[in-house]
A and B are shown apart, each in its own frame.
Chain A
Amino acid sequence: MTFQELIRRLDDYWSAQGCAILQPYDVEVGAGTMHPATALRSLGPEPWNVAYVQPSRRPADGRYTRNPMRSQRYYQYQVILKPSPDDVVDLYMGSLNALGFDTRKNDVRLVEDDWESPSLGASGVGWEVWLDGTEITQFTFFQQMGGIECNPVCAEITYGPERLCLMLNRQSSFWSDLQWCDSLSYRSAEWQLEMQNNVYNFEVASTEMLFRLFEMFEAESKRVIETPVRWDEETGILTASGAEGKGAGDPSRGPMALVYPAFDLALKCSHVFNLLDARGAISPTERAAFINRIRARARACCLRYMEQYAGASA
């Protein structure tokens, strides 16, 4: 099994279950959950069924490639099903068989594991899925996002494709065993990027610049989410010119706020914070305060995002 084949099988399987196969988000994120396709779209009443690969960056997890199964940038395969279907667990089990496991030969368990993301103000209840004792998936029913109760509740399924691939092949290292496809190893594709980023994250990144960036991204996110916009009927566009006060939302037009750009800026805050953390530049007492600041930005976006539904629920 190659890495590429594994992702293709997941795409095929979830596509056959009616999911749209989206593409990775183009802002650095720590997990697939932060992709707006999850972070924002898990909110609101409309059905939403998507799957996508998301490269995830966790600077502090880097090990200079010396740990065979851990790196500062890796992939997540993420599925969001809203509302969570009654047979969501069975659907998920089907994906394991599609990958080449055999749920009648392997021992598959759902072991209690609750999840929360303080910087997104998100929390959920669910399981880690064990296959013959290895954790292969995080399975979560979102209860809150941006501090807002999820209604309906969506199911989030997150696979670690590198590890799954190693397991299927009974191999043990990203760096010596994994094949991206027959003609390319994972090492050839990723090793230099991984190694150099480790050096950057732990040794070289300018903390002084990063602190400045944090402030700038945070201020910009706040300014942007508070910037009034209006729908211009004449030209059929959303515009900031001539907008006064904040308008409410409308399901057909979305919220009258620049939620996506403001959220991107919040994500940038989060990534910059992670870099500072990896550099050991954030004192423990400041840590919680930084996380609160990121959450405040993310939550502001989620609240504005929800405005488009305000009329619908009333």
Chain B
Amino acid sequence: MPELLLEVGCEELPASFVRKAYEELAARVENGLREVGLSFERIGEPIGTPRRLIVAYRDVPQRQPDRAKEVRGPSIKAAYDADGNPTKALEGFCRGQGVGVADVRRQGDYVWATRVEPGRPTREVLRELLPSAITGLTFEKAMRWGHGRLRFARPIRWIVASFDGEPVEFAIESVRSGLSSRGHRFNHPEPFEARTLAELLEGLRRREVEPDPRERERRIREGARLVADGTPDLDPSLVEENVFLTEWPSALQGSFSAEFLELPEEVLVSAMAKHEKFFPVRDEDGRLTNRFVSIRNGGEEETVRLGNEWVLNARFNDARFFYEEDRKHTIEEFLEKTSGIVFQEKLGTVRQRAERLERLCAAIAERTGADAAETEYARLAGRYAKADLATGLVAELASLQGVVGSIYAERDGVPHPAACAIGKHYDLEKIPRKDCEGVRTALRLVAADQIDKLAGYLGLGLVPSGSSDPFALRRAATMFIETAWRWPGPFPSAAELLWIADGLYRGQGVELAHERMVRAASELFAARYPVLLPDARHDHLEAALLPTVPLAALDPCGVLMRTQCLRRFAGYRAFILTATRPLNILAAAEKKGIPIPDIPLEDLDAAVLDSEEGAVLAAVIGEIRERVQAAAAEHDSDTVAVLLDDLEGPINRFFDSTLVMAEDEQVRGNRLALLAHCRSLLLLAGDFSRLVVEGA
């Protein structure tokens, strides 16, 4: 059956848009085909380059199938007269639907006709479907061009739309679809014809375009290894960027003046990788060499190499200029200069922020078992973390923030663990997964940095919404959660730290709306867990977030521990049902406004409970309580689960033998008080009442 081919040719799309764009294009075309009842089968995966998005399908029928549509007519009373003969109303309806009076059915109180809508030729359907699939694509940022009103990532230049080897004709802005594609921008600008995917792919490859990103990636990786005199740093995100910056990638090796190797390694790597998209090359000992691998999209190797070397030397020269200028100042001087840089208009300067970070880091250190030396490292890391924003080198090469601060701080005698933390606090991936004072200091600094940011922005009501998150607060929440999880042991809840941060802002005369801040933070955190724990069951997450306990979401370690507990109980239906009993009855009582007295566990004996089984339950709770709480504080989910298991029998026996909602108000209160003690233990593992239990 016929083939459908669609290629959307554009001026260079942003590299980070391409993959999402061709996937979305495929999804939109496929949804469109399904909606009109056309079957199809993908030929390969959707593919693309910065200049084209390509999707293709085989086995698309020539015609849309006929579709039966049920139409409701007049009511039976109105459709037939007393003698059962069709009325004018029914005749009119039948005429309108093109069916005979005898063909209608009676169903319920109405008559129904089955109208057959004949399928349209597929080509005709595609003339509407394809342009709407294209123009409906969404981008992070779109633009208009010329006289057009369409918003798209970059101007559309050509469209190949072929069905069964013939064009599907339509127009988007001033571009008419057809069968003409184009090759490499400079080497093969003349149009060529393609009627099928096979023709298109062959034509493109003959014209120096490799449309398949997997193939481009292979070429980049293999090419880089082949030309490098040493080992190229093939950072995956840099490879991906190069895949979508090129249509016909080939690798070349160049070199720069060896004198620049005196610059800090991070400066060299950043200039190469971040600014030029080059891969640095290392020797067998892992040391940086003065060689690099560049991926070109065309041109002549020698010309491009010379140009690449020229620009890299110029960049390093620039960097050296700023580096040498910076060397005339101390980190303390840079810190003072940050009083000239605004963090946020209402939140003060970067210098003021340093003061908060210094104290917040120290507060976190105190809460995470730091000794005096480590507390001092944390304080210094916070103090100097942002000082490099005032340096010439960071002003010039923004991607070096942190790294530059670390180098200058160490030079000026800031202790190594603190300097090291400064260098790594923008990116958790850079922090090694081990437990040493440098790593602990770095994690404390990351946490402080995110909390200060979240407190400030959320406290001003600058809450992310939908796709708009201009201050990257979702990322801040994610970084805090991941930091807490990385911490070797329990990490303080963000609720507590936000409260401290709020106080620090207030100390500087900045009034924040605390209620709004923590509520927004809770929502922000709660929305991050499903992304960070993709394997966790939805109901487990909900139960772990303890919807009835305010601010529970702000404690990432608690949330994680509860999901682990709940996973242990996942197959244990009997326990879940048991644990749900006290939770539900208490929730119902609270809903009705029945008071639940706060009575010490020791006072709840068989007499006041008027229940032997209640006394047993109280005894078991008393026996395990301290151990469960201790285990939960240590985030030891195994022990929590094992201990709670002991509650199953006593809870069931209590419920089976005793009516909790007794007539006697006093007795009822005592029994509810007992269950409240029980609940406080159960909630350490999660809100079992939120779990979905099959067959329950």
Contacts and interface: CB of A to CB of B under 8 A. Distances in A.
A196 interface: no
A111 interface: yes
A267 interface: no
A132 B317 contact: no
B321 interface: yes
Contacts of A68: 314, 317
Nearest to B346: A285
A132 B349 contact: no
Contacts of A89: 11
Interface string B1-44: 00000000001111110000000000000000000000000000
Contacts of B245: 109, 111
Interface stretch (A18-26, A80-88, A214-222, A254-262): A80-88
B483 interface: no
Size bracket, chain A contacts: 35 or more
A283 B143 contact: no
A107 B277 CA distance: 13
Given A141-B143, A284-B340, A287-B342, A132 B298 contact: no
A86 B155 contact: yes
Interface hub of A107, A131, A143 (most chain B Cβ within 10 A): A107
Interface stretch (A7-15, A49-57, A98-106): A98-106
Nearest to A171: B310
A112 B14 contact: yes
Grouping DSSP codes into helix (H, G, I), strand (E, B) and loop, the A interface class, with mixed when no group exceeds half, is: loop
A133 B276 contact: yes
A114 interface: yes
Nearest to B321: A67
A125 B141 contact: yes
Interface in A126-153: 126-127, 131-134, 141, 143, 150-153
Interface string B341-372: 11001000100000000000000000000000
B11 A131 contact: no
Contacts of A90: 189
A253 interface: no
Contact of A172 (B155, B189, B307, B314): B314
A124 B154 CA distance: 12
Given A67-B321, A132-B308, A167-B310, A109 B147 contact: no
A102 B303 CA distance: 10
A110 interface: yes
B310 A152 contact: no
B146 A152 contact: yes
A93 interface: yes
Nearest to B296: A107
A132 B192 CA distance: 28
Contact of B318 (A67, A143, A283): A67
Contacts of A111: 12, 15, 245
Given A125-B141, A172-B313, A172-B317, A104 B187 contact: yes
A201 to B, nearest CB: 17
Interface in B266-296: 276, 278, 294, 296
B304 A132 contact: yes
Contacts of A83: 146-147
Contacts of B345: 285, 288
A104 B186 contact: yes
B312 A106 contact: no
B505 to A, nearest CB: 16
B314 A69 contact: yes
Interface string B490-501: 000000000000
Contacts of A246: none
Nearest to A86: B174
A251 interface: no
B224 to A, nearest CB: 16
B297 interface: yes
B12 A109 contact: yes
Contacts of A86: 146, 155, 157, 174-175
Contacts of B303: 102, 105-106, 132
A66 B321 contact: yes
Interface in A264-314: 280, 283-285, 287-288
B306 interface: yes
A131 B306 CA distance: 11
A170 B306 contact: yes
Contacts of B318: 67, 69-70
Contact of A114 (B141, B144, B145): B141
B314 A170 contact: no
Interface in B298-331: 298-300, 303-304, 306-308, 310-314, 317-318, 321
Interface in A31-77: 63, 66-70
Contact of A134 (B13, B175, B296, B311): B311
A152 B186 CA distance: 28
Contact of B143 (A102, A109, A133, A143): A143
A76 to B, nearest CB: 19
Contacts of A105: 299-300, 303-304
B296 A280 contact: no
Nearest to B313: A172
A230 to B, nearest CB: 34
Nearest to A111: B245
Q: Which 3 A-B pairs have the closest CB atoms?
A: A132-B307, A112-B14, A125-B143
20 contacts: A84-B155, A86-B155, A90-B189, A104-B298, A104-B299, A106-B307, A107-B298, A107-B299, A108-B185, A110-B11, A111-B15, A125-B142, A132-B307, A133-B312, A134-B307, A134-B311, A141-B155, A150-B144, A153-B147, A284-B342
Given A68-B317, A133-B312, 20 more contacts: A67-B318, A70-B318, A84-B146, A86-B174, A104-B298, A105-B304, A106-B303, A106-B307, A107-B307, A110-B50, A111-B245, A112-B12, A125-B142, A125-B154, A141-B145, A143-B143, A151-B144, A153-B144, A283-B340, A285-B349
